[in-house]
Chains A and B, each alone.
Chain A
């Protein structure tokens, strides 16, 4: 896929989360990683790409197609994407299976049986066999995130958007979630991933967009970025992250 942004701005009150972001990825980027310091605009850009947020100005294009600026269009566009957030994704009053099946029934028009079958299949694929009836509070953080990924994948989304999906997890759980993401990437799922797991991004990403202070400091093929980042801020970021690893 090709992601493009032209002068995208998004303000929250007086804070500019995106301050004229410009970039264009290669046409065949399968996994795009959003890197950069906290508060740099990764999450906001991810939400704009997924149509959860509409930018104040500027345009975002996915494979040459402009994203809608109106709420109705954004809702329809959202339904073609899958999201996983940092934590507290799942609906706590529903079982793992119902978390997956409910949107399939209500949003995507599947029958109850088809939705349940799809839910069971996906939970099993993500290693959650036998956990279908559990509520989120009865599962570990890693299991919760895998269930959230199952829910995001259920309607066969064009884009899977992951917003720091492992930031709230310990190293063991982080590894189990990242394994899942890597398998999905290798299976051809198009992914946009905001993360601080630089070594993971280095392994799976095709393209890197580096954001700081609401601006795109760098947008380049992952190989080139990790080999020799152009901007000093990206160099400092990579050095800082690798200092204790």
Chain B
């Protein structure tokens, strides 16, 4: 009982220490930035930027929508490519390995342009849909390698134990490999999904009015620059920080010693 109280106090003082150091660092970095900006004598025009707030929010909405859809799809693509690279059939294995290498080795910009001018025109698809699919496949290629590393790190003795208790190959994946691989893949996956949100800014090249595109239009119309880009950076942080925080909580939930 007393030990539990002691531990509670310990975690309390731990949190207090984190808060203290967090605010000290925040103030220090903020002051540094402030002096840096004041040293270059930048002339702020916040009024010009404020007039475009609704456009900004609309763009942010589009970024969120496209990112969220692409995230779900990219995880699916990642799992499929990973399974494909581990398949018994040689053509499936080669096909998936080929896609992963080509997609990772070429610029997203080119993929989006090819997707828009060739695939979208060919099948009469909506530009947003094509944009989301291209983004999902691009990030899925990276995710598949993160997943492959995690799955292959599950030792042979675990696979043998799974066979020994009578699991079918599907059950082995479901109950033994995936739950253990999930924890190992989480940190890398979070990083990749944060990248996805930022990469979605490239969707503007095929005419999708996401938030970076909105800021660019605003800057050219209102003669602003940092007044658009700084809120943009903050907006991205407001999305990516909760994602990282949520992923760390997930990691904690799946934590166990091996």
Tell me if B257 counts as interface (CB < 8 A to partner A): yes
Contact A93 B164 (CB under 8 A): no
Stretch from A100-108, A176-184, A211-219 forming part of the interface with B? A100-108
A52 beta carbon closer than 8 Å to chain B: yes
Interface size on B, residues (CB 8 A): 22
Q: In the complex, which residue of chain A has the Cβ closest to the Cβ of B182?
A: A93
Contact A106 B257 (CB under 8 A): no
A85 touches B161 (CB 8 A): yes
Whether B171 pairs with A106 at a CB distance below 8 angstroms is: yes
Tell yes or no: B155 within 8 A of A by CB.
yes
Other 14 A-B pairs with CB < 8 A, given A107-B167, A137-B258: A50-B164, A75-B166, A78-B166, A81-B164, A83-B161, A85-B161, A87-B157, A88-B155, A89-B157, A92-B258, A93-B179, A137-B256, A137-B257, A152-B164
- We find that the number of chain A residues with CB closer than 8 angstroms to chain B is 26
Output the least CB separation between A164 and chain B (Å): 13
Q: Quick one: which of B155, B168, B180, B254 contacts A75, CB cutoff 8 A?
A: B168
Counting residue pairs across A and B whose Cβ atoms lie within 8 Å, the total is 62
- A152 to B171 Cα, complex, angstroms: 17
- Complex CA gap A108/B166 in Å reads 9
CB pair B158 A102 closer than 8 Å: no
Residues in chain B near residue A87, CB distance under 8 A: 157
Looking at the assembled complex, report how far the CB atom of B157 sits from the nearest CB atom of chain A, in whole angstroms: 4
**5 A-B Cβ contacts within 8 A?**
A88-B157, A92-B256, A93-B179, A106-B171, A107-B167
The listed residue (B166, B180, B183, B258) touching A79 by CB distance below 8 A is B166
Q: Which of B155, B162, B257 has its CB near the most chain A CB atoms (within 10 A)?
A: B257
| Interface SS majority for chain B | helix
User: What distance in Å separates the Cβ of A85 from its nearest Cβ neighbour in chain B?
Assistant: 7
Contact bitstring B161-181, A, C-beta under 8 A = 1, else 0: 111111110010001100110
CB contacts (< 8 Å) of B254 on chain A: these are: 93
**Taking A93-B180, A135-B256, A137-B257 as contacts, is the C-beta distance between A85 and B166 under 8 angstroms?**
no
Interface string of A114-129 (1 = CB under 8 A from B): 0000000000000000
Asked if A91 lies at the interface with its beta carbon under 8 angstroms from chain B, I say: yes
B101 within 8 A of A: no
Say if the beta carbon of B160 comes within 8 Å of chain A: yes
CA A135 to CA B183, docked complex, whole Å: 16
Q: How far, in whole Å, are A83 and B183 apart by their CA atoms in the complex?
A: 27
Per the 8 Å Cβ criterion, residues 72-90 of A in contact with B are 75, 78-79, 81, 83, 85, 87-90
